[in-house]
Amino acid sequence: MPQVTMMLTPGFQFLALGVQAAFELANVLQGERYYTLSITSAEGGAVLSSSGFAVPTTRLDEAGPIDTLLLLAGLVPPPQQDEEMLAMVRARAKEARRVAGLCTGAFLLGQMGLLDGRRATTHWSYAQEMRKAFPQVKVEDDRIFINEGPVWTSAGLTAGLDLAVALVEKDLGREVAGAVARRLVMHHRRAGGQSQHSELLALAPSSDRIQKALLHAKAHLTDPLTVEDLAGVAALSPRQFSRAFHAETGQTPAKAVEQIRLEAARLMLEDSRLSLDQIARNSGFVDLRRMREAFMRHYGQPPQTIRRLSRAA
C-alpha cells in the first residue's frame, strides 16, 4: 500500500490537512485501503498550526517507507531551516517516489535544492520572493500546480486539492479521480495550467472612477475600449484618466484591457466548446492571430495548448 506522508512545519496552515481527504475517498471508492496515511514532522510530537491548533505527529525519520511526501508550511513562506533538518527531509524525499510542496511548502523544496533547474509554482503573492530566494528555479506564478518528474508544487491552499486529485489520477486513473472530485464537491477539476487569480483583483484600483472603467471594459469586451472610451466612462479627460489609471494599477489602460480580454478568453477555453475564432471575437480580439500573440506574451502558451491542458482534467 502506498504511504502518503504529510510533513508539518510549525505554523502550518490547518486547511492544508484537507488534502488527505482525496486519498481517503480514493480508498472508499476502491473498496479497500489502497493508501495509508501518516502525519509527521521533523522532531515529532505536537505541532502548532497558524490558527493555534496542535496536531500530533510522528518523527519523519521514523516513518516507514514513503511513497508520496507532502510538505506543508504556513500562510507565509517558512524561514530558512537548519541544515540537519533539511538533510533529513531531503533523504526521505529522495527515497520517496514523489514529493510535493503545497503552497508555501514549495519553499522547503527550494531550500533542499530539489527545485533547482525545475519549473515550480507557489501562491502568486510569494512568487517574486521565491524567484529571489531560488534563482535556479523557474517560478511560474500563473499555474495551479506543476509536475516536474518526481517533484510537484501547487499554488494557494485549495490548489493542494487539485494536486492531490491529480496524484490519485496518476495512481488509479481518470475515472477514480473524477469520482473523488465529485465526492469533494469540487466545482470542476482544474488542470495545472489554469490561472491562479483574477485580473480585476490583481489590478486593484482604489478609486470608484477607475473601478467603474474596468467593470465597463469587462462588460463590453467586443467594443473598441480605447482610452477615450474608458476616460468617458470615468468622467475624466484621456490625459487625466491615463495618469490616474497608471498610478492606481501600475498598468496602462491598453495593457489592462488586454489582460481582461485574455482572462475572459481563457475562461471560455476552459469552460466552453466554442471555436477559437469565436472565442477571439467574443473576448474582443480582432482575430485569432492577435489572440494567439497575446496568449504567447502573457502565458507563454498558445490557446489550443491551454484548452488541451484543461480538457485533460
Q: pLDDT digits over 219-262, tens only?
A: 899 999 999 999 999 999 999 999 999 998 888 999 999 999 99
Which band of pLDDT confidence, cut at 50, 70 and 90, is reported for residue 199?
low
Same domain, 83 and 207: no
**Over 90: is that where the pLDDT of 95 sits?**
yes
Mean pLDDT of 295-308: 86
Q: Please, what is the average pLDDT of the chain?
A: 90
Same domain, 92 and 175: yes
Domain of 250, in residue numbers:
199-312
Same domain, 139 and 219: no
- Judge whether 194 lies within some domain: no
Task: Please tell me the total count of domains within the chain.
Answer: 2
Same domain, 141 and 216: no
- Judge whether 118 lies within some domain: yes
Same domain, 157 and 16: yes
Mean pLDDT of 216-221: 92
Residues 6 or more apart in contact with residue 300 via CB below 8 angstroms: none
pLDDT given at position 312? 64
Same domain, 174 and 279: no
Q: Which of 183, 216, 232 represents a domain boundary (last residue)?
A: 183
Residues 80, 113 contacting (CB under 8 angstroms): no
**Over 60: is that where the pLDDT of 190 sits?**
no
pLDDT given at position 192? 45
Same domain, 204 and 166: no
- Judge whether 192 lies within some domain: no
Same domain, 179 and 255: no
Between 77-81, 96-100, 221-225, 301-305, the lowest mean confidence (pLDDT) is in 301-305
- Judge whether 232 lies within some domain: yes
**Over 60: is that where the pLDDT of 296 sits?**
yes
**Over 50: is that where the pLDDT of 295 sits?**
yes
- Judge whether 258 lies within some domain: yes
Q: Which of 153, 183, 213 represents a domain boundary (last residue)?
A: 183
pLDDT given at position 105? 96
pLDDT given at position 114? 97
Dihedral over alpha carbons 172, 110, 143, 67 (to 10 degrees):
0
- Judge whether 281 lies within some domain: yes
DSSP state of 3: E
Enumerate the active-site residues.
103
Mean pLDDT of 167-194: 78
- Per-residue pLDDT tens for 122-173? 998 898 899 999 999 999 877 889 999 999 999 887 889 999 999 999 999 9
Same domain, 44 and 162: yes
- Give the rounded distance of the alpha carbon of 246 from its chain centre: 27
Same domain, 45 and 136: yes
pLDDT given at position 188? 42
Residues 159, 103 contacting (CB under 8 angstroms): yes
- Per-residue pLDDT tens for 10-32? 999 988 999 999 999 999 999 99
Q: What is the CATH number of the domain that holds 26?
A: 3.40.50.880
Instruction: Using alpha carbons, list the distances in angstroms from residue 169 to 94, 162, 177, 279, 307.
Output: 22, 11, 5, 30, 19
Which band of pLDDT confidence, cut at 50, 70 and 90, is reported for residue 267?
confident
Q: Which of 183, 218, 235 represents a domain boundary (last residue)?
A: 183
- pTM surpassing 0.95? no
Same domain, 29 and 148: yes
Which band of pLDDT confidence, cut at 50, 70 and 90, is reported for residue 96?
very high
Higher pLDDT, 19 or 186: 19
- Judge whether 191 lies within some domain: no
pLDDT given at position 194? 46
Helix (H, G, I), strand (E, B) or coil at 172: helix
- Judge whether 112 lies within some domain: yes
Same domain, 277 and 170: no
